[in-house]
Structure 1
Amino acid sequence: MLPEIDELIVKGHPVVAGDGISAFTGAFRPTLFTPVRSRSFGNGATVTWCDRT
């Protein structure tokens, strides 16, 4: 599945709630993405768009 991903949209909020779930499974193979745009909101949330490097 990872080879088909050419853009990530990462949404963040300054709160930790529970254990969470893994986004990917399998062997650890770092894949580089470059942030190309970011937006911050008054409540501390952020959205960052990243393109595959």
Structure 2
Amino acid sequence: NERKEEVEAGERKIKIAAPSENNLTMSQICTELDPTKAEKSKEILDKEQ
């Protein structure tokens, strides 16, 4: 549960850091920050959908 909260907190930081008019997707933003984390995030999102 703590790990999930860390991920959510990280996503909030990314959203806050990215201007709302910026059309980058979350995965593109994550890839720019850390490609390996972006892949893991994509896998998690794919499982949830």
Instruction: Pick the TM interval, shorter chain.
Output: under 0.3
Please identify which structure carries the higher strand content: 1
Calculate the TM-score normalised by the size of structure 1. 0.23
